Amino acid sequence: MKGLGLVAVLVLAGCVATQGAGIRQVALLDGAVVAAAPSGYCIAPGAGQRQADSAVVIMGRCSAAGTAEPAVLTLTVGQAGSAGAMAGGGAALADYFTSDAGRAALSRSGRAGDVQVLSASGSDAAFLVQVRDRLAGEYWRGIAGLRGRLVTVTAAGPLEGAPLPAAKGRALVEAALAALRRANVGGAVVVDANQTGTGG
């Protein structure tokens, strides 16, 4: 999945996903999960990756004339059964993502030293982490279980070096996760994510 931020920027051409009404929802993996965009955002046709049992979807503003914050949203849907990674709750995830292995997994370069975890917390059956990456800049990522699959949503600025304001980035990730839950009613995996904070 390395380099998806740059791919997203090139595909979205200024962070506008589509013209007109746009695509707000699409079924993935033979209907196993429905990808859904939050209000003001649309799914970019042809962007991302589709594999046999996983998928990556890119979203951007539906219209440059709208009021939605310019941003690139990346949705990753993991393999069947991958939601088991959420079983330990927020505390275990915070421990992982602040470890060398976890920071390396978050890193654009794959090097733990290039990543600083600014905050990590559980929020409404999801885990949220704020990251500063030497190559990718600052961004928010939300991680949740959905229909037995691990899903992640990343919200980043439309251009490298132009991060979203922290509060707006977190709010956008939470809105995207809420849209996913609504689109997949009856299939979400509820996780007791403990409140956890970390300092960079």
CATH number of the domain residue 36 falls in: 3.40.1000
User: Does a structural domain hold residue 196?
Assistant: no
pLDDT at position 186? 63
User: Does a structural domain hold residue 18?
Assistant: yes
- Report pTM: 0.79
Residue 140, domain extent: 4-189
Mean pLDDT per 10-residue run, the chain (200 residues)?
Answer: 36 43 85 93 84 91 86 94 84 87 91 93 82 89 92 87 85 95 68 34
CB 45 within 8 A of CB 23: yes
State the total domains in the chain. 1
User: Does a structural domain hold residue 28?
Assistant: yes
pLDDT at position 79? 93
User: Does a structural domain hold residue 194?
Assistant: no
pLDDT at position 141? 93
Least Cα distance to 142 among 180, 116, 174 occurs for: 174
pLDDT at position 78? 93
User: Does a structural domain hold residue 76?
Assistant: yes
Least Cα distance to 71 among 144, 150, 176 occurs for: 176
pLDDT at position 161? 65
CA 153 from centre of chain = 1
User: Does a structural domain hold residue 117?
Assistant: yes
**Residues 61-104 pLDDT 10s:** 998 877 899 999 999 999 999 988 888 787 788 888 889 999 99
3-state helix, strand, coil in the chain (%, to 5): 25, 35, 40
